[in-house]
Structure formats: structure tokens, C-alpha cells
């Protein structure tokens, strides 16, 4: 059975008197350990699809099943618990917390986990070493370059060893050299068994993925 | 890393924002502390001054008599079984339970004498206590210092045709008019004041007094209790409270207190608004951050705890600072606000703990809605990028 099963997902936004269909019946199946890129033009619905996948945006209709759990049937804060346990997020603008050091940012997902502080620090340190930032643990985000901030964001996303890594335009704010380094990092994580779903509009990033799904006007128009 | 570390690090590393938040709340608390302390200090000062100014208890000899006067016209009266008060008896007043509330005792002896062929009412007083009790007196010339100095009411001086420095003879003794009172509009204008022992000798009433006026500090004791206590010590005297004076003072104080409480309520309301607006601003500024917290799996209660802990820490700090600044402000302002130089600042632990408690309560209450608002934020909306 697939790790992620998206069945006929529709998402409609109401804007004044008008309704906008961001997703119009999307069906996607993603296997455990796959590296998927989702591509499409601006307004094609790829970011909406990622937020639906991340359990943060209730679809108007359809279902999202992840690791055998129907995401939007989870009651109350169980959805937040699911995100904490199974999902890792990497955002386009990194979204590091400016008043926390690199290692503190990475430790954030562990702040709500019952674990000794020393153990949390050790997990975060290993995670930062894994992305090549073992020497800059105590730097604040504004003392790190764009590429380094992206690495901290990735380390934060993988520190709790989630089954699925969701990334939204992770190279959108980086130069081409740094972009390649970051993409190589995602490949390494995927090679180690991590399932990666990445939204990107850069066709070059597609070559790192096992499969690319293209969206147009809220619908899948192709997969290769 | 625990949730509290997020709150503490936010406050520690965003000093400017934290300072703004703390200053906002500190100003509110300091204003309340200053206002409350000034009000209490000034109330106490006013109360003390009102008690010092003029008598509120009158001690007269016990008699079975009826006064026959109406509208200022006296038709004499019937008096029998007249008893006298000895001056020495007044020392017993100092032994009453509320003796510490007695500000001044002013014994008086009254009697008619002839000066320059005119009948004048001579009043023997202890000038020190009399001048303390009647602080509205303005003296032209000098205050009497010796047994042979006299103080005249303005009408008495006019009728006797004397001015400060003149000499007058009473029963063969020569006295100096040391001063003349400025017009008071009261009975004092037509009186001639002399030192009590000398007046007693001139009137042939050595050791006796006609009446005594007592100025009692009413704060903390009902005037009725003091009247009873004095009456028990002086069974031959009639002791009565001058009700219109007492009630007038209580009414004036009550009005002042009500005004200050209304002011404090307004300041508390404004202080709460400052905290509320500042906390809302702080939460709105951290929209993306809260979106990240929600995206990585923080529950709503986690967000609430982070925001409320920050509010509690800032509020506690603002409470301490607000109390210190408020008391400093009250100390600086008191000399300008209170007329009396003897007005002193009231240091009260209730105000200290109250201001810290109030800061905490205000901070938490005003942050409750912003914290709820933050916890209910849609993470997708908050992050926008997703």
C-alpha cells in the first residue's frame, strides 16, 4: 500500500462573491522512500496541495491518507500530533526563529517531546552535523548565510526522524551553486530512506527526483 | 529545549521589543502606584491638617442650665449647680486609650475686664497650642512671648485705639500689645488674648479654666469613642464633639477618596488597554513564527503557554519596576501636590504586592485574547508561503 494516497481532493476558496477552485480533483499515490517533485506555474495549486498534504489545510472534498491514517478525520489536536510525529517541513523562506540559535531552532520540534534536555541537544547536534553545520551550532540565523539557513531548516525538519519530508520551494531564495548543494542534501536524505515531497518551479530540480508531478489549473496534467 | 526556553529566549534576545512591552506595562502600573500612593499620602496629610486646624471636641464645666439665645441674640440664661474645671484635671486627658490621637489641648479662661474705661472680654490661652490650632490667624506685629504680651482681635484694637507696640494698663499692670489679629469674621475679632496664667490671675481664677478645646486626629479612631474616654476621665465636665466640624471633615475626605478611586479605575483601564494593544501587536508581529510552531506540530495549548509565560514574565518585571518607578514618582510629586511640608510618603506592603499582583493579573488577562488569537491562527494563513 502507498505511503501517501490522495483521492479526488478538491479545494475551493471563497473570495468575496467568487469562489476559486485551487485543486480540482487531484489523485496522487506516493510510495514509501520516493522522492517526488511537484511542478507547475504560479497559481497552479502546488502550494495548496502541499499544505493539504501537510495536514494544515482541510480540503473541500476528497481524502488524504498517510501512513494508513485518514488525515482529516483526526479529531481535535490529533492532527497537530500527527504532524509532530510523521512530518517534517522545509519552507521557502526558511522561517527560522530569529531569536533562537541554530541548534535551538533544530531542537524546536523536540520542545514538545518528553525527553531529557541533553538528549534533545544531542539529536539536534547530530542533525546539524548531517547537513554539514556541526561547527555553527550557536549562531543566530542572522549570522548565517542563505544556504546555511536552509541547511538549519532541513536539520530542523529531520531532527524528529519524520517519515515524510515536505519542502516548499527550498531553493527559491538560493543561488544556483547553493541550490545544487541543497538538492544533493535532499538526495542524500532520500537515499537514506526518507520520503521527500518537494514543490518547485525550477525544472532543474526535477532531475534529482524519482518522479515529477505537474499541476495545471488545480489538476494533475502529467507524471514522469 | 522546553516551551519555557522559547519564551525566555524570545524575551532575552529581542531586548528592544521586550523593553517596549515592559515599558508599556510599567508606565501603567507606575501611574497606578503613584496615584494610589499620592492619594493615600495626601488623604493622610489632609486628614492630619484638618484635625489640627480647629477643635473638634469641646470641654465645658458640667452645669444644669439652659442657654437663652437665638440667632446670635443672647437673653441671658439660667444656670445652677455650676461646677468648675481645674486646669490640672486636663492632664488626665493624656491618659485616655486614644491619647496618641490628641493633637492639641487648648484650655481657656474667660472673664470681663475694664481697659481704657471700656469693658472687654479677656481670654486666657496657651499661645503655643492656640496658634497651632488656629493656623488661619494672621498676626500684625509679633506673636506674644511673655506674660505681659497681649494679642488683640481687630475690633478690640480699633475700639481701644491701640496698635502693635502700644502699652495698655490692666488692673494697674502694664502690658504690651505685641500683635493684632487680621479680621477673622469670628468672635475672635472682639477679644483680648493674654497668657493663661496671667489671665487667671487678673480674673481671680488661678488654676481654673472656663473651657477647653481639643483637636483630635480622627484617623483610625471614631471621635465618639474619644469623647466617651475623655468624659470618663473628667466627670465634672461636659464633653461634646463639634458634630458639624467632624461630619464636614469626613465628607470632604470621602469626596477626595471617591475622586481618587475613580481616577485609579480610569488608569487601570488605560493600563489594561496598553498591555492588550502591545500584546496584540507582539502576537501579530509573530504570525509567521506561530505558523511555524503549528506546522511542526505544536498544539494550541503549547502556543498559549508560550505567549502566556512571556506575558507573565514581562508582567512580573513590569510590576517590580512599576512599583519602584511609581513610588519614586510619588516621592517627587508629593512636595508639589501636598501643601504641608510634613506630608510623608506612605510605604505600604499592600501597595507593593498589590502592584505586582495587578501587573500579573493585567498582563495575563490582557494577553489572554492575543494568546487565544495566536493559538487559533490558521498555520497556512500564518505562513502564507505554503
Q: Write the ipTM.
A: 0.89
Region of residue A68 (phi > 0: left; psi between -120 and 50: alpha; otherwise: beta): left
Does pLDDT of B80 surpass 60? no
**What pLDDT was estimated at residue B53?**
60
Buried b / exposed e along A118-141 (16+ C-beta atoms within 10 A): eebbebbbebbebbebeebbebbb
* CA atoms within a 13 Å half-sphere pointing along the CA-CB vector of A222: 5
Mapped onto helix, strand or coil, the DSSP state of residue A183 is: helix
Q: Which three cell numbers, joined as nine digits, stand for B117?
A: 474705661
Higher pLDDT, A155 or A94: A155
Q: DSSP character for B92?
A: G
Q: Is B288 on the interface with A (CB under 8 A)?
A: yes
**What pLDDT was estimated at residue B323?**
92
pLDDT digits (tens, 9 = 90+) for A36-45: 999 988 888 8
Q: Which three cell numbers, joined as nine digits, stand for B120?
A: 472687654
Does pLDDT of B341 surpass 80? no
Angle at the Cα of B318 (from B312 to B324), degrees rounded to 5? Answer: 145
Q: Are B216 and B102 in contact (CB under 8 A)?
A: yes
User: Which residues in chain A are contacts of B294 at CB distance < 8 A?
Assistant: 56, 80
Does pLDDT of B208 surpass 50? yes
Q: Is B204 on the interface with A (CB under 8 A)?
A: no
**What pLDDT was estimated at residue B386?**
42
As a whole number of angstroms, the distance between CA A161 and CA A159 comes to: 5
Q: Are B56 and B222 in contact (CB under 8 A)?
A: no
Neighbours of B227 (CB within 10 A): 20
The average pLDDT across A153-177 equals 87
Angle at the Cα of B156 (from B151 to B158), degrees rounded to 5? Answer: 110
Q: Are B306 and A111 in contact (CB under 8 A)?
A: no
Domain count, chain A: 1
| Candidates A45, A48, A49, A51, partner chain B, best to mutate (most B CBs within 10 A) | A51
Host H or E run for residue B208? strand B208-209
Domain coverage including residue A207: 4-223
Which sign, positive or negative, has the C-alpha torsion B347, B351, B353, B355? negative
Region of residue B86 (phi > 0: left; psi between -120 and 50: alpha; otherwise: beta): beta
Q: Which three cell numbers, joined as nine digits, stand for B223?
A: 471621635
The average pLDDT across A165-183 equals 85
User: Which residues in chain B are contacts of A108 at CB distance < 8 A?
Assistant: 1, 6, 292-293, 296
Does pLDDT of B79 surpass 60? no
Does pLDDT of B82 surpass 60? no
Mean pLDDT of chain B: 81
Q: What percent of chain B stands above pLDDT 70? A: 84
As a whole number of angstroms, the distance between CA B151 and CA B143 comes to: 7
Longest dimension (CA), chain A: 54
The average pLDDT across A178-185 equals 86
- Structure confidence at residue B47 as a pLDDT band (50, 70, 90): low
Q: Are B318 and B359 in contact (CB under 8 A)?
A: yes
Does pLDDT of A6 surpass 90? yes
| Candidates B297, B305, B378, B381, partner chain A, best to mutate (most A CBs within 10 A) | B297
pLDDT digits (tens, 9 = 90+) for A49-70: 998 998 888 999 999 999 889 9
Does pLDDT of B117 surpass 60? yes
As a whole number of angstroms, the distance between CA B316 and CA B305 comes to: 16
As a whole number of angstroms, the distance between CA B214 and CA B385 comes to: 81
As a whole number of angstroms, the distance between CA B301 and CA B341 comes to: 55
Q: Which of B6, B289, B379 sits opposite A56 (nearest CB)?
A: B379
* CA atoms within a 13 Å half-sphere pointing along the CA-CB vector of A101: 16
Return the closest-CA partner of residue B246 out of B268, B261, B227, B267.
Answer: B227
The average pLDDT across B87-113 equals 84
**In whole angstroms, how far apart are CA B97 and each of B92, B101, B193, B221, B228?**
11, 9, 32, 10, 11
**CATH no. for residue A11?**
3.40.50.300
Instruction: Give the A-side interface with B, CB within 8 Å.
Output: 47, 50-51, 54, 56-57, 77, 80-85, 87, 89, 91-93, 95, 97-100, 104, 107-112, 117, 120-121, 124, 140, 156, 168-169
pLDDT digits (tens, 9 = 90+) for B302-317: 998 998 898 899 889 9
- Structure confidence at residue A156 as a pLDDT band (50, 70, 90): very high
**In whole angstroms, how far apart are CA B79 and each of B67, B83, B110, B338, B344?**
8, 10, 17, 47, 48
As a whole number of angstroms, the distance between CA A156 and CA A88 comes to: 8
The average pLDDT across B171-189 equals 89
**What pLDDT was estimated at residue B181?**
92
- Structure confidence at residue B385 as a pLDDT band (50, 70, 90): very low
Does pLDDT of B56 surpass 80? no
Contact B289 A97 (CB under 8 A): yes
The average pLDDT across A80-85 equals 91
Contact B288 A112 (CB under 8 A): no
Q: Is B295 on the interface with A (CB under 8 A)?
A: yes
Does pLDDT of A161 surpass 70? yes
* Domain residue limits, chain B: 3-49+251-383, 56-241
Q: Which of B1, B13, B380 sits opposite A57 (nearest CB)?
A: B380
Contact B9 A104 (CB under 8 A): yes
> What's the pTM?
0.67
pLDDT digits (tens, 9 = 90+) for B10-39: 888 778 878 887 887 888 888 888 878 887
pLDDT digits (tens, 9 = 90+) for B227-251: 888 888 888 788 887 766 666 666 7
Q: What percent of chain A stands above pLDDT 70? A: 99
Q: Which of A51, A83, A85 sits opposite B380 (nearest CB)?
A: A51
Amino acid at each position: 500500500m502507498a505511503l501517501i494516497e490522495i483521492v479526488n481532493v478538491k479545494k475551493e476558496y471563497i473570495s468575496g462573491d467568487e469562489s476559486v477552485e485551487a485543486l480540482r480533483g487531484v489523485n496522487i499515490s506516493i510510495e514509501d522512500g520516493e522522492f517526488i517533485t511537484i511542478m507547475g506555474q504560479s497559481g497552479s495549486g502546488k502550494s495548496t496541495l502541499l499544505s493539504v498534504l501537510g495536514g494544515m489545510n482541510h480540503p473541500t472534498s476528497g481524502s488524504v491518507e498517510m501512513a494508513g491514517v485518514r488525515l482529516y478525520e483526526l479529531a481535535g489536536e490529533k492532527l497537530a500530533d500527527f504532524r509532530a510525529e510523521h512530518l517534517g517541513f522545509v519552507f521557502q523562506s526558511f522561517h527560522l526563529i530569529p531569536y533562537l540559535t541554530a541548534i535551538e531552532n533544530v531542537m524546536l520540534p523536540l520542545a514538545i517531546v518528553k525527553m531529557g534536555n541533553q538528549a534533545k541537544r544531542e539529536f539536534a547536534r547530530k542533525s546539524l552535523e548531517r547537513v554539514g553545520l556541526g561547527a555553527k551550532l550557536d549562531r543566530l540565523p542572522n549570522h548565517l548565510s542563505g544556504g546555511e539557513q536552509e541547511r538549519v531548516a532541513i536539520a530542523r525538519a529531520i531532527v524528529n526522524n519524520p517519515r515524510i519530508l515536505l519542502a516548499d520551494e527550498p531553493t527559491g531564495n538560493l543561488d544556483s551553486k547553493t541550490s545544487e548543494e541543497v538538492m544533493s542534501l535532499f538526495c542524500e536524505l532520500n537515499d537514506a530512506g526518507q520520503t521527500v515531497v518537494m514543490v518547485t518551479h525550477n525544472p532543474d530540480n526535477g532531475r534529482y527526483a524519482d518522479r515529477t508531478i505537474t499541476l495545471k489549473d488545480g489538476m494533475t496534467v502529467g507524471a514522469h | 529545549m522546553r516551551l519555557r526556553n522559547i519564551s525566555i529566549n524570545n524575551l532575552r534576545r529581542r531586548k528592544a521589543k521586550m523593553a517596549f512591552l515592559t515599558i508599556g506595562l510599567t508606565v501603567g502600573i507606575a501611574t497606578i502606584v503613584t496615584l494610589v500612593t499620592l492619594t493615600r499620602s495626601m488623604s493622610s496629610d489632609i486628614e492630619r491638617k484638618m484635625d489640627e486646624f480647629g477643635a473638634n471636641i469641646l470641654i465645658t464645666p458640667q452645669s444644669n442650665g439652659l442657654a437663652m439665645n437665638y440667632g446670635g441674640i443672647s437673653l441671658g440664661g439660667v444656670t445652677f449647680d455650676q461646677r468648675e474645671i481645674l486646669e490640672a484635671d486636663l492632664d488626665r486627658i493624656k491618659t485616655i486609650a486614644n491619647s496618641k490621637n490628641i493633637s492639641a489641648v487648648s484650655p481657656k479662661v474667660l472673664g470681663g475686664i475694664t481697659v481704657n474705661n471700656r469693658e472687654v472680654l479677656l481670654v486666657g490661652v496657651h499661645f503655643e497650642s492656640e496658634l497651632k490650632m488656629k493656623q488661619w490667624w494672621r498676626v500684625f506685629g509679633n506673636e506674644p512671648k511673655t506674660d505681659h504680651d497681649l494679642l488683640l482681635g481687630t475690633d478690640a484694637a480699633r475700639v481701644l485705639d491701640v496698635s502693635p507696640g502700644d502699652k495698655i494698663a490692666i488692673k494697674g499692670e502694664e502690658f504690651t500689645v505685641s500683635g493684632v489679629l487680621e479680621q477673622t469674621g469670628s468672635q475672635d475679632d472682639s477679644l483680648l488674648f493674654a497668657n493663661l496664667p496671667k489671665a487667671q490671675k487678673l480674673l481671680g481664677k488661678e488654676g481654673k479654666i472656663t473651657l477647653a478645646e481639643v483637636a483630635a486626629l480622627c484617623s483610625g479612631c471614631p471621635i465618639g469613642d474619644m469623647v466617651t474616654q475623655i468624659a470618663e476621665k473628667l466627670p465634672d465636665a461636659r464633653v461634646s464633639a463639634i458634630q458639624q466640624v467632624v461630619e464636614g471633615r469626613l465628607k470632604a475626605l470621602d469626596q477626595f477618596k471617591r475622586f481618587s478611586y475613580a481616577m485609579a479605575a480610569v488608569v487601570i483601564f488605560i493600563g489594561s488597554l496598553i498591555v492588550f494593544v502591545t500584546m496584540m501587536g507582539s502576537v501579530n508581529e509573530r504570525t509567521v513564527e506561530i505558523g511555524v510552531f503549528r506546522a511542526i506540530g505544536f498544539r494550541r495549548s503549547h502556543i498559549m503557554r508560550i505567549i502566556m509565560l512571556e506575558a507573565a514574565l514581562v508582567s512580573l518585571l513590569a510590576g517590580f519596576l512599576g512599583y519602584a518607578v511609581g513610588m519614586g514618582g510619588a516621592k517627587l510629586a508629593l512636595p508639589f501636590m501636598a501643601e504641608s511640608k510634613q506630608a510623608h510618603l506612605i510605604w505600604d506592603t499592600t501597595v507593593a504586592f498589590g502592584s505586582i499582583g495587578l501587573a500579573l493579573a493585567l498582563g495575563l488577562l490582557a494577553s489572554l485574547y492575543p494568546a487565544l488569537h495566536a493559538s487559533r491562527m490558521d498555520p497556512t494563513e500564518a505562513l502564507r508561503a505554503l
